[in-house]
Chains A and B, each alone.
Chain A
Amino acid sequence: MSQLSVSRLSVRYGPVKALRDVSLEIPKGQITALVGPSGCGKSTLLHTLNRLTDLVDGCEVRGSVRLDDDLEITEATTDVLALRRHIGMVFQKPNPFPHSIRRNFEIPLREHGVSRANIPGIIERCLRDVGLWDEVSTRLDRSALQLSGGQQQRLCIARALALDPEVILFDEPCSALDPLASAVVEDHIAALRGRVTVVIVTHNLAQARRIADRLAVFWVRDGAGTIVETGPAANLFTDPTDPDAARYLSGERG
């Protein structure tokens, strides 16, 4: 069953066409990786899934994105605050709030009406989920900015998990980290399989090969980004049909 169905989606930033006529099924509980060269609209697609496109002046979205075959995400009347609770996001650069580790959880949890009594339990569960609990349990009241880059990124994943989302979007979550920290973060993303639907943009094809169930290859065609090939990751890596996608996946270009 599809968690998210994107159909005939086009996005433009003023005169710049970022995406044209994109359709994509994102299955529940699986890891879908979006790959392709720079500027072909991968981040733009992620931002339409949780309506972060609303923050950009002049950004115009057409087409349909449905959550659980039920909620039309692109509809103006959609409650975006509730939507973003269901669809979390982790960015390329770790972006914890410059407050204590505890405040990083309290602010979003309180905003979504979780009672104070439940918060410590949620913090512990989510920090354990990303393997951070043993490292930080004694310094929850210290600043999140004192953590290393890899720890900050895992904190951001834990913070996203705290809201119990069905989907988490990852925009190049490892590209600002050193190889060891990157491997740790990747393992924790892979461990979400089955529990959370994951959509991940990555420039690291080896990473996509390791963790993705499904793959979508983006390319710029006629001045706008679009998906040139999509399917189970294993098939695409061994037997791509689109020539650009084939060259890109075999590492000849990009």
Chain B
Amino acid sequence: MLNPLAAAPRRARRLDRAIAIAGGAASFSTLAVFGWIVWDLIRLGLPNLSWHFLTGEVETAGRSGGIGPVLVSTLLILLCCLAVAVPLGIGCAVWLSEFVRRGSRASRIVTGGVDLLASVPSIVFGLFGMTFFCQVLGLGFSILSGGLTLACMILPILVRTTLLALEGLPADLRPGAAALGLTRTTTLRQVLLPTALPGILVAITLGVGRALSETAALLFTSGYSTRWPDSLGESGRALSVHIYDLAMNIPNGSPNASASALVLLVLILLINLTATGLTERWTRHLSGTTS
């Protein structure tokens, strides 16, 4: 008689190997697609990159000249967006995790709203921004309108990711703090938030990535102007809008579209690296291996 138990391990081992190979193949093809995109951008864009390109005015609708004003507008839009979204998002997550009962009606309504917001396509945010910020609030096509629209858009990622960070904290931190007679504010400010900071940085990084790569929400809100912005009330073209315009509307625009896309990619990469670096330093600081 064959031992029926003996057959299983060999089959299981073969399955193990098959899954490992399939997983490896999937990972490599993902990497290959990414590599191909980057290679294409470098091949097409790098020849046009120069200091002049980064700082110069936009000329002949972007076919020549540089992207200086576009970069400035992009950063201003991003700053407006973060200045509003970060406090709002963290505040909302803190409220959900520390001040209302999980599963209570208030918490269900707010998380439901946040998730609904997350599923709204960005073009709808653009239309909403145009009617609400540009027209109803009278901000017009402006950097401010664009930033505020983006803020609404990245709010769900900020709330969800920060909430995850707060809920992932060790469960005995809160009773430990309470047993020492700490107020909730002190517990939050001195214990919970510092411990959750790496997670909060991840939330902000994800938000920034989403904001920088957004086009549709900005088309109708911050507009197309390629002048150097003098104030937040002026229209200013974001990098993603610039790329879209060069690639879709401007004949012979694609070399500079590639160059701009390369700049955008590097910008996002830099922000990611900075965030990772900060997270590492903060984790080391908390675990005390510095000093």
Asked if B60 lies at the interface with its beta carbon under 8 angstroms from chain A, I say no
Question: Which of B39-47, B118-126, B167-175, B243-251 interfaces with chain A?
Answer: B167-175
Asked if B22 lies at the interface with its beta carbon under 8 angstroms from chain A, I say no
Q: Which residue of A lies closest to B284 (CB)?
A: A143
Cα–Cα, bound, A156→B182 (Å): 15
Cα–Cα, bound, A41→B195 (Å): 32
Asked if B288 lies at the interface with its beta carbon under 8 angstroms from chain A, I say yes
Known contacts: A57-B101, A91-B172, A107-B190. The answer to whether A112 contacts B286 by CB under 8 A is no
Known contacts: A91-B175, A95-B176, A112-B181. The answer to whether A141 contacts B288 by CB under 8 A is yes
Q: Name the one of A93, A108, A139, A163 contacting B172, with C-beta atoms under 8 angstroms.
A: A93
Instruction: Check A146 against B287 for contact (C-beta < 8 Å).
Output: yes
Residues from chain B with Cβ under 8 Å of A81 in the complex: 181-183
Interface string of A86-97 (1 = CB under 8 A from B): 001101010101
Q: Which residue of A lies closest to B103 (CB)?
A: A57
- Measuring CB to CB, which residues of chain A are less than 8 angstroms from any residue of chain B? 50, 52, 54-55, 57, 80-85, 88-89, 91, 93, 95, 97-100, 103, 107-108, 111-112, 139, 141-143, 145-146, 156, 159-160, 163
* Min CB gap A146→B, angstroms: 6
Interface string of B173-195 (1 = CB under 8 A from A): 11111111111001000110011
Cα–Cα, bound, A28→B259 (Å): 78
Q: Which among B176, B179, B195, B286 has the highest number of chain A CB atoms within 10 Å?
A: B179
Asked if B291 lies at the interface with its beta carbon under 8 angstroms from chain A, I say yes
Q: Which residue of A lies closest to B176 (CB)?
A: A95
Cα–Cα, bound, A160→B182 (Å): 12
CB within 8 Å of A: which of B77-103? 101
Cα–Cα, bound, A133→B276 (Å): 36
A interface secondary structure, majority: helix
Instruction: Check A143 against B181 for contact (C-beta < 8 Å).
Output: no
Residues from chain A with Cβ under 8 Å of B172 in the complex: 91, 93, 95
* A–B Cβ pairs within 8 angstroms, 23 of them: A54-B178, A82-B181, A84-B181, A89-B179, A91-B176, A91-B179, A93-B172, A95-B175, A97-B191, A98-B170, A98-B195, A98-B286, A98-B287, A99-B191, A99-B286, A108-B181, A141-B291, A142-B291, A143-B289, A146-B287, A159-B180, A160-B180, A163-B180
Known contacts: A100-B288, A141-B288. The answer to whether A50 contacts B191 by CB under 8 A is no
Residues from chain B with Cβ under 8 Å of A84 in the complex: 178-181
Instruction: Check A95 against B170 for contact (C-beta < 8 Å).
Output: yes
Known contacts: A55-B174, A98-B195, A111-B186. The answer to whether A88 contacts B287 by CB under 8 A is no
Residues from chain B with Cβ under 8 Å of A111 in the complex: 180-183, 186
Instruction: Check A163 against B287 for contact (C-beta < 8 Å).
Output: no
Q: Which among B172, B194, B288 has the highest number of chain A CB atoms within 10 Å?
A: B288
Instruction: Check B288 against A107 for contact (C-beta < 8 Å).
Output: no
Residues from chain A with Cβ under 8 Å of B289 in the complex: 142-143
Cα–Cα, bound, A113→B177 (Å): 16
Instruction: Check A107 against B182 for contact (C-beta < 8 Å).
Output: yes
Q: Which residue of A lies closest to B104 (CB)?
A: A57
Instruction: Check B287 against A50 for contact (C-beta < 8 Å).
Output: no
Interface string of B263-291 (1 = CB under 8 A from A): 00000000000000000000000111101
CB within 8 Å of A: which of B184-208? 186, 190-191, 194-195
Instruction: Check B180 against A88 for contact (C-beta < 8 Å).
Output: yes
Q: Which residue of B lies closest to A58 (CB)?
A: B101
Cα–Cα, bound, A99→B183 (Å): 18
* Min CB gap A142→B, angstroms: 4
Residues from chain A with Cβ under 8 Å of B175 in the complex: 52, 55, 91, 95
CB within 8 Å of A: which of B42-65? none
Q: Which residue of A lies closest to B191 (CB)?
A: A97
Cα–Cα, bound, A216→B197 (Å): 44
Instruction: Check B194 against A88 for contact (C-beta < 8 Å).
Output: no
* Min CB gap B97→A, angstroms: 14
Cα–Cα, bound, A141→B182 (Å): 22
Q: 4 nearest interchain CB pairs?
A: A143-B288, A142-B288, A84-B181, A89-B179
* Min CB gap A68→B, angstroms: 17
Q: Name the one of B181, B183, B186 contacting A85, with C-beta atoms under 8 angstroms.
A: B181
* Min CB gap A162→B, angstroms: 9
Q: Which residue of B lies closest to A146 (CB)?
A: B288
* Min CB gap B105→A, angstroms: 14
Residues from chain B with Cβ under 8 Å of A54 in the complex: 178
